[in-house]
Amino acid sequence: MPAISSLVHQLANNYPSLIFTEGRIARWSSEEATVYYNPREPHAEWVLLHETAHGILGHANYTRDIELLRLEHSAWHHATTVLAPQFDIVIESEFVETQLDTYRDWLHAKSTCPSCQSNGFEQHKHQYHCPHCQTNWQTNTGIDVGVQRVVAQQK
């Protein structure tokens, strides 16, 4: 895919503090200062600009879940209004809305009790509690990663 490799090349030039690496799942890793991109996914360039925006804006992966949606908004905003025009790319707002909807679903899944499906709340960072059945569970951390819920061992 020559189109995306030239975009990666230009982004790497413009943002030398960021590392760009091909990966199975597009994501930003603040620990590694690395933007992972997958050239084979639909609209890979838009997603790449989005992940790059997370990097430029210095978003940390270890963030409370309730803040993640705000970070998603700001990364898409930066990608759409600042990055895309530099490369004559237009990111469709419909695509962004779909991504944000997926994200909202993901956050909802994280806060759903794995035992009784009630709505829990984030008591501490990535640690949820169900007021209905008292189950505690942890979710995985990070921006743009799939949902995992791990029920805490009963003490």
Provide the minimum distance between the beta carbon of 64 and Zn ion in the complex, in angstroms, as a whole number. 15
Token look-up 């050239």 returns 39
Calpha distance 55→108 (Å, rounded) = 25
Nearer to Zn ion, 8 or 47 (CB): 47
Provide the minimum distance between the beta carbon of 130 and Zn ion in the complex, in angstroms, as a whole number. 3
Residue of 132, 140, 147, 148 that binds Zn ion (CB under 5 A): 132
- Is there a contact between 44 and 1 (Cβ–Cβ < 8 Å)? yes
Q: What are phi and psi of 6, to 5 degrees?
A: -75, -35
135 binds Zn ion (CB under 5 A): yes
Which residues neighbour 48 within 8 Å (Cβ) at sequence distance 6 or greater?
4, 7, 8, 11, 26, 35, 37
Nearer to Zn ion, 85 or 131 (CB): 131
Provide the minimum distance between the beta carbon of 115 and Zn ion in the complex, in angstroms, as a whole number. 5
Q: Identify residues 52-81 at the interface with Zn ion (CB under 5 A).
A: 72, 75
47 binds Zn ion (CB under 5 A): no
Nearer to Zn ion, 9 or 132 (CB): 132
Calpha distance 143→141 (Å, rounded) = 7
Residue of 96, 113, 139, 142 that binds Zn ion (CB under 5 A): 113
User: What is the helix (H) or strand (E) element at residue 134, kind and residue range?
Assistant: none
Q: Look at the chain and count its residues.
A: 155
144 binds Zn ion (CB under 5 A): yes
Type of residue at 107: L
Give me the residues that bind Zn ion (CB under 5 A), please. Answer: 72, 75, 113, 115-116, 118, 130, 132-133, 135, 143-144
